[in-house]
Amino acid sequence: MSKTTAAERRVLSKFGAFVRTSARSSMRRRKKPSAPGQPPSAHVGLIKQFLFFVYDAARKSVVIGPAKLNKPSDNALEVLESG
């Protein structure tokens, strides 16, 4: 049973790393906003820098997304999500 769990964790972690790398490479560095349905533009580069993945052992899944920044006035991630 523990080998299955270790194998699942290894496979899901590799999947998370692949998706994160793919997402980072699809973001273009430009000044204009991206078109709807396209990857976000990396204006400053923070969204690329703070994109992480984590294996959730309780749900046996991977969560991939940006980390929350500590600036209370910075709502860039919310704007990217809602448009």
60: which residues sit within 8 A by CB, 6+ positions away? 8, 12
Which one, of 43, 44, 41, 64, lies nearest residue 54 by Cα?
64
- Dihedral angle, C-alpha 29, 40, 31, 77, nearest 10 °: -110
The residue assigned the tokens 């533009």 is 41
pLDDT (tens digit, 0 to 9) for every residue of the chain, 83 residues total?
577 688 888 999 999 999 999 988 888 888 888 888 888 888 887 888 888 999 888 888 999 988 876 765 556 666 665 65
State in Å, rounded, how far the first CA of the chain is from the last one.
44
> Do the Cβ atoms of 36 and 83 come closer than 8 Å?
yes
Quick one: pLDDT at residue 19?
93
Quick one: pLDDT at residue 74?
55
Quick one: pLDDT at residue 71?
63
Quick one: pLDDT at residue 75?
62
Quick one: pLDDT at residue 83?
53
Would the pTM count as exceeding 0.85?
Answer: no
Q: For residue 53, give both structure tokens.
A: 């993945």
